[in-house]
Amino acid sequence: MINNTKRSEEFDSSGLIVFIYKWRKPLLIVCLIALFGSWFFSCSWFITPKFKSIVILFPAATNSVSKALMSEQSTKGQDLMAFGEDEQAEQLLQILNSNKIRDRIIQKFNLMAHYEIDTGYRYKNSVLYQEYERNIKFNRTEYMAVKISVYDKDPQMAADIANKIGELLDSTKNQMQHQRAVTGYKIVEGEYNSLKAEVEKITDSLINIGKLGVNDVEYQSQAYNQQMAIAIMNNKPAAIKALQKKLDILGMYGGIYLTLQDALKFKTEQLTLLQTKYKQAKVDAEENLPQKFVVNDAYKAEEKSYPVRWLIVLVSTFSALFLAIMVLIIMEKISAYNKHKKFNVG
């Protein structure tokens, strides 16, 4: 019993090399079979080789034309030439993973037929989406850029899809923002036109009152009163009557004139401010800015990226060798246990 324990300890600590040498022929055969098998089954007959194309881009810091070009107080986040940061990059990733881009790419390149998916299959769309996600990936780089990676059996197709996704990123995000910008523009336009109409109405009222002779209430009031005093002193009834008529008109419309004048000043200031917002909203609704800075465009790959045959062969061979060693160890343990049990029974 003690001898068996010692042998077990010796095997666990230093007998592995001796063990491998003892079983060298079976282990060599297993390695050769695994080597040949992994090399054979990783060829293009069994695994379709795929080519990889990459687009790398940085998000833009601002998407508003008015803020970038028309704002008087420009900040870093509103700089037309500034690169975006984490928040903008995450927004781009979310848009890239949206079904808006996915569906347009599927339709543009007819991926249902390209991926050879049976259109009569009940779950054809689920299979298509899984294949899309398996071949098209979006992630961040170590430099906070966004990377679009496309794998395909056709190298030109991989490059075309990657570049097209980069193009659709602009149109998709602009379309999303355009809906909001147009709604905002219509609201501002309605307020602007309404306020403009009020200013025009007040202006027309002041013109009509001006036709009655009311133009400068304070000055006219002082002047008419002075002339009235002179006319009374000189006993001129006709002049007194004419001046009294003017004073009556001034008294009737003077207060309204002053009120309208103050209202016009206030409304005009409001209209000036709203006009600036109106112009900015109009620019945002009618114009678009690129949403990205492209660092690398995709190009047709010359060498396949998948599968990596040497890695498959290496992993498969070492895995087979390790499994064979484990099986042989178990077999020896069982054989030693059976011998020991037979010896004790005898």
More confident residue, 183 or 332: 183
Q: Does 175 map to a domain?
A: yes
Phi, psi (deg, nearest 5) at residue 75: -115, 175
* Burial class of 126 by CB neighbour count within 10 A (0 to 12, 13 to 18, 19+): exposed
pLDDT in tens, 211-239: 777 776 666 777 767 776 777 777 777 77
Specify whether 172 is located in the same domain as 224.
no
Q: What is the mean pLDDT of residues 328-340?
A: 77
- Examine the domain organization and report whether 116 and 177 are in the same domain: yes
Asked if residue 339 is part of any domain, the answer here is no
Q: Which residues pair with 148 in a beta bridge?
A: 55, 138
pTM: predicted TM-score of the whole model, two decimal places: 0.63
- Do the domain assignments include residue 243? yes
65 and 162, same structural domain?
Answer: yes
Pair (159, 273) in one structural domain: no
Condensed to tens digits (0 to 9), the pLDDT of residues 79-127 reads: 556 666 778 888 889 999 999 999 999 999 999 999 889 888 889 999 9
- Residue ranges making up the domain that contains 141: 51-183+289-296
Q: Judge if 32 and 69 occupy the same domain.
A: no
**Domain check: are 121 and 107 in the same one?**
yes
Q: In what order do the strands lie in the sheet with 292-296?
A: 136-140, 146-152, 51-59, 292-296
Token pair belonging to 310:
């040497």
- Same domain flag for 91 and 63: yes
Are residues 213 and 148 part of one domain?
Answer: no
Return the top range by mean pLDDT from 73-77, 162-166, 273-277, 334-338: 162-166
Mind listing the pLDDT tens digit for each residue in 294-320? Answer: 888 888 887 776 666 667 778 888 888
- Any idea which of 68-77, 79-88, 167-176 has the lowest mean pLDDT? 68-77
Shared domain check, 240 and 167: no
**Domain total of the chain:** 3
Considering the domain boundaries, does residue 341 fall inside one? Answer: no
Strand partners, 132: none
Q: Which region holds residue 116: left if phi is over 0, alpha if psi is between -120 and 50, else beta?
A: left
Query: 198: Cβ–Cβ under 8 A, 6 or more apart, which residues?
Result: 267
Same domain, 15 and 88: no
Is 209 a member of any domain?
yes
Measured CA to CA in angstroms, residue 336 lies from 7, 11, 64, 246, 285 at distances of 11, 13, 79, 133, 84
In a domain, 340, yes or no: no
